[in-house]
Structure 1
Amino acid sequence: MPASKIPNMIMRDAIAEDAVCIGVLGMQVFLDTYATEGIRSSIANEALHAFAPQTISQLITQPGVSLLVAQVNGHLVGFAQIKLNASHSMIDAADAAELQRLYIQERFTGLGLGCQLLQAAEQHAARGGAGLLWATVWVGNERALGFYPRRGYEVLGSPTYTFQGETHGNRLFGKPLVLST
């Protein structure tokens, strides 16, 4: 069933009270995506740091960063994290924004929720003055590697990401934005 048909689904800006739920959902999706061979200390430390409630609380109040949440029946099922004025060494555009995270709880994938949340993130970035939205995707995330091109994103490069002393390959996707009225 498409996201627009999910009963009682709403999208809104995150508020301070969402920090714990965003953190737990973020950790769940992160581990489902990146801990494909189990948990090791580098993955555990990254998840605990990136999704700690205080980290999410800081993101919610950080100027230039926005979190959009998707809720069904009062339960958080997805979120998008957008950073305005985000440059990247492989992108020439001065008016770029970064989609830092687009996380959907597994049982809600395939229902169109990701598409709807991505569109909301694109519009948010465009309203913030961005002419391009970019995102990096881990090369092991086959679902996301297929998702972005279907939504009009082009591969702009192959950067790496290092965390906890480990370096991982990524694909850099970008899409020009048009503010819809």
Structure 2
Amino acid sequence: RNAHNAFSPQAFAHLLGKPEALIIVAESLGHLIGFAQVTLCVDHPMLGVSTAAELQRLYVQERFTGCGAGRLLLEAAEQRATARKAALMWATVWVGNPRALGFYPRQGYEVKGSPRYEFQGETHENRLFAKLLGGSNLTRNSV
């Protein structure tokens, strides 16, 4: 039910109307194969960077994983966030997702913490990944 609401046409229409939201799609032969969702100007308490952008979702259909679609979506998200003055991109990844845990370091992201997420009364451990974006005035030590 939660996923159905989050991915409904109405939810995407609402997101597309927000100036701080970025949606990037990947397609193959006219069919959606993945997308990235970024929210600008979202800090994380473990980072303390007001010009950060949160990568909220990066999804690629299973049969298209391993062919570079995720990397291209992430690069496009970083470029668009940089163009909108984001100094850093961050994402939280569930520790039970080994593919994502391996993906982000290969794209230059570093683990910055282990936040926990509460969902329906259960606690889930995550990893906080962050990467300085091109042209950032931040130093590596400040993040």
- Same-fold call, TM > 0.5? yes
Q: How does 1:95-106 map to 2 (within 5 A)?
A: 95-106=51-62
Aligned counterparts of 1:133 and 1:78: Cα–Cα separation in 2:
19
Which has the higher mean CA deviation after the structures are superposed, 56-65 or 106-115?
Answer: 56-65
Quote the offset at 1:141 in angstroms.
Answer: 0.4
* Aligned alpha-carbon RMSD (Å): 1.1
Identical positions, percent: 59
Counterpart residue identity of residue 170, structure 1: N
- TM-score under structure 1 length normalisation: 0.72
Q: How many positions carry a matched residue from both structures?
A: 135
Instruction: Classify the secondary structure of the residue corresponding to 2:71.
Output: helix
Aligned counterparts of 1:178 and 1:156: Cα–Cα separation in 2:
19
Q: How does 1:124-163 map to 2 (within 5 A)?
A: 124-163=80-119
Aligned counterparts of 2:8 and 2:27: Cα–Cα separation in 1:
20
- TM-score under structure 2 length normalisation: 0.90
Counterpart residue identity of residue 95, structure 2: V
**Quick check: 1:46–1:163 contact (8 Å CA) kept in 2?**
no
Counterpart residue identity of residue 145, structure 1: L
Q: Which is strand-richer, 1 or 2?
A: 2
| 1:74 corresponding residue in structure 2 | 30
Instruction: Classify the secondary structure of the residue corresponding to 2:37.
Output: strand
Please list every run of 5 or more consecutive structure 1 residues that lacks an aligned counterpart in the other structure. 1-44
| 1:175 corresponding residue in structure 2 | 131
Structure 1 stretches of at least 4 aligned residues deviating more than 6 Å after TM superposition: none
Counterpart residue identity of residue 85, structure 1: C
**Quick check: 1:84–1:98 contact (8 Å CA) kept in 2?**
yes
| 1:84 corresponding residue in structure 2 | 40
Find the partner of 2:7 among 24, 27, 51.
51
Quote the offset at 1:114 in angstroms.
Answer: 0.7
Please list every run of 5 or more consecutive structure 2 residues that lacks an aligned counterpart in the other structure. 136-143
**Quick check: 1:90–1:156 contact (8 Å CA) kept in 2?**
yes
